[in-house]
Amino acid sequence: MGYLSIRNVPEHIERRITQEARRRHTTKTAVVLEYLERGARAARSLRARPSLRAWAGQLARADLARVLQTSREHRAVDPELWSV
């Protein structure tokens, strides 16, 4: 098992970790390790999600054309809404 020292932890984060450790009757180390594991899982989950480009590449041509047309319509600026 590795050793890691973290410096310059902002006070509000250290306070939160301390409060959580007290609430759970555990150590700050255990709380930090759990937070690190959760963060790592979240990062893996984000990477595992397909990109919009990959999703669009799976669409049938007609569906892709409809998505692109709808996207163009939503990006269009309505002069009446933006007139002063």
In a domain, 43, yes or no: yes
In a domain, 1, yes or no: no
Give the chain's mean pLDDT.
87
**Average of per-residue pLDDT across 9-13:** 95
Q: How far apart are CA 12 and CA 32, in angstroms?
A: 14
Q: Is 90 exceeded by the pLDDT of residue 61? A: no
Share of the chain above pLDDT 70, in %: 94
Q: Is pLDDT larger for residue 55 or for residue 70?
A: 70
Number of structural domains the chain divides into:
1
Q: Which DSSP state fits 5?
A: -
In a domain, 3, yes or no: no
pTM: 0.54
- Contacts of residues 30-36 at CB distance under 8 Å and 24 or more positions apart, as own/partner, are 32/6
Cβ density class 11-33: b for 16+ within 10 Å, e for less: eeeeeebeebbeeeeeeeeebbe
User: In the chain, helix, strand, coil percent, each to 5?
Assistant: 70, 0, 30
Domain that holds residue 45: 11-76
In a domain, 27, yes or no: yes
